[in-house]
Chains A and B, each alone.
Chain A
C-alpha cells in the first residue's frame, strides 16, 4: 500500500462538525456525571422561598413585593452559584483529566486540530450550563408566577374589603406587577449565562498551562474574586479621590481591569430583583463584552495549547 504526501486528506484549520462531535460528547459526559441532580436542590430552595411571608412594620398586612423579591434573589443567587460552579469545575477538570487518563492521546492522534478540541470542550460545558440555566429560569418563573397569582388574589380581596375604589386598587397592584414574571427575568438569566461563559473561558485558559486540577481551580477562583470586587475597589478609590484623599488604589484597579474581567459589570440581576426593566442597550453591551472576553481567552488558550507537549 502506498500513499503520497499529496494524497493526504487536507484537515481544515477549524471544523464545526468536529467541534460539534467533541462538544456533544463533553455534554453527554457531564450529563452522565449526574450534574442535573442540583436541579432538585434548586426546586426545594425556591419552594422554601415561596413559603416565606413577610409582615410589615404595622403588623397584619403582608409586604408582597418583598416576597416576590425574595424568590427572585434566591433564584438568581442559586443560578449564579450553580452556573459558576459548573463553569469552573467542569472546565477545570475536563482537560487535565483527559491528559491524566491519556484519552487526549487517542483524540489528538486522530486528525483533530487542537483548536477544535479546545472549542469542543468549552462549548460542551457551555451547552450544559445553558440547558441548566434554561431549566432553572423556567423553575424560577413557575414559582414566581404562582406566588404572584396568590398575592394578586389576596391583595385584590383585601383592598376590596377595605372599600378601596377600583382605580386605586389597580394603581396599588401596578407596583406588584413590576415584580412578576417578565422578559427581564429571562434577560437576567441570560446575563448569568454570559458570566459563566467568561468564567469557563478563564478556566479553559488556565487548564492549558496548569500542571494540576487544584491549581486550575484555585487560580480561576482568585480571578473570579478579583472580577467580582474590582468595580467596588474602583468605586471606593473614586469616592476617596472626591474627598481629596490620594491613593494608588485607583491606578491599581484600572490596571487590574485591563487583565481581568469585570464580572460585576455583567451583573444585571440586582436591578431585575428590584423590579427595574433591563434596557436593550445594556444587554447588547454586556453581550459584546462577554464575547470579547471569550474570544481573547480562547485565543490565549489556543496559543498555549497548540505547542503543548504530552
Chain B
C-alpha cells in the first residue's frame, strides 16, 4: 500500500479531541442526556489507540463526532489538525462501522469501486486497488457474488476493504472482529499490525479486551461518558512488584532449587505467587487445528 506524505507542516496529533461534550435532548421533554462529558484524547500519528468501555459509555458518540456524523455540543475534534465537522477531514479517514451493511444488490468488487469513485478514484488505478484489497481481505474468490449472499464475517472484510480504499492515514474501526471467526479475527489483527508498520494511525473500539491488549499502544477506558483511565498498556496493566519467568524443559529438580532459592530470600518479602504449566489459548488451539486440516487437504 502506498501512503503519500509530502507535507510541509505536520499536525502534532493524528486525532485531537479536546473537552468533547455531546448532549442529547429528548424530542418533547426538556430532559437532557450527556452521552460524552469532557472527553479529551490525543493520538499521535502511527499510534494504535483502543477505546474501551461498556455499552452506552460514549464510545460510538466519540467516534461519530470524529467522523462528522454528529456535531459536538462543546469542545473540538480534529483529524490531522482539520476540524472533523469539515468534509475535507474525511479524505484521510477510513471507517469500518460495527456490523457494516452494504447495498445487497452489489458485488464486493462493485462495492469497492463505488466507494473508490466517491473518493475520486478512477480507471486502472482504482481497478488495481480493488484487486489488491480483495486479495488482502481474501475475497477474490467471491468478488462477483452479490453481498446479499455473504456471511457476516465476509461482510466485515468487505467493510475493512472499503475503509482502506483511498489509502487513509487514519483508520477508525468499530468492533472490527464482530461476527468474524477466529481465523478471520487473527487475519484482521495481522492486518492492523501491518498497517501500523506502514504508519497508519488506528483508532479502535472493541469489547474484546484481549484483542485490544494485543494490538494497541495506548488504551482509554470510558465510563458513563467520562474518560476514567488512559495510558500505555504497560502503565495500565503492569503489576509493579511482580515478575514473570517462563521456563522451558525445566525438570523437577531445577524447579525445586528455584523454590528453595526464593525461600532463602523470604526475609525480603519475596515469594512464589504461583507456579504452573502454561496453557495454550483456545483460540490458538482452534487455529492450529484448522491449519492442520487445511494442510492435510492440500
Contact = CB atoms under 8 A, between A and B. Distances in A.
Interface of A: 1-11, 17-18, 21-22, 25, 28-29, 32-33, 101-103, 105-113, 307, 309-310
Contacts of B90: 11, 108-112
Contacts of A8: 80, 82, 88-89, 91-92
**Chain B interface extent, by class:** 35 or more
A32 B137 CA distance: 27
Contacts of B7: 2-4, 6-7
Contacts of A110: 90, 115, 118-119, 166
Contacts of B71: 307, 309
Pick the 7 closest A-B CB pairs, nearest first. A1-B199, A5-B81, A3-B80, A2-B10, A109-B95, A32-B105, A4-B7
A22 B200 CA distance: 28
Given A4-B10, A8-B82, 20 more contacts: A1-B5, A1-B45, A1-B200, A3-B5, A3-B11, A5-B9, A5-B11, A5-B80, A5-B81, A5-B82, A7-B6, A8-B89, A102-B97, A105-B95, A108-B90, A109-B69, A110-B115, A110-B118, A111-B120, A307-B71
Contacts of B95: 105-106, 109
* Secondary structure call for the B interface: loop
A214 to B, nearest CB: 18
Contacts of B271: none
B153 interface: no
A17 B89 CA distance: 20
Contacts of B179: none
Contacts of A105: 67, 69, 95, 97
A307 B69 CA distance: 9
B100 A310 contact: no
Contacts of A11: 87-88, 90-91
Contacts of A10: 88
B254 interface: no
A30 to B, nearest CB: 9
Interface string B84-104: 000111111101010111110
Contacts of A109: 67-69, 90, 93, 95
B8 interface: yes
Contact of A25 (B5, B88, B91, B114): B114
B129 to A, nearest CB: 14
20 contacts: A1-B45, A2-B7, A2-B11, A3-B5, A3-B11, A4-B8, A6-B8, A7-B8, A8-B92, A18-B117, A18-B118, A21-B114, A32-B105, A102-B101, A105-B67, A106-B159, A109-B90, A112-B118, A309-B69, A309-B71
A244 B163 CA distance: 70
Contacts of A113: 87
B46 interface: yes
Nearest to B114: A25
B218 interface: no
B194 interface: no
Given A5-B80, A6-B7, A17 B198 contact: no
Nearest to A21: B117
A2 B45 contact: yes
Nearest to B90: A111
B255 interface: no
Interface in B1-40: 3, 5-11, 14
Contacts of B91: 8-9, 11, 111
B109 interface: no
B91 to A, nearest CB: 4
A310 B5 contact: no
B118 A21 contact: yes
Contacts of B99: 102
A91 to B, nearest CB: 17
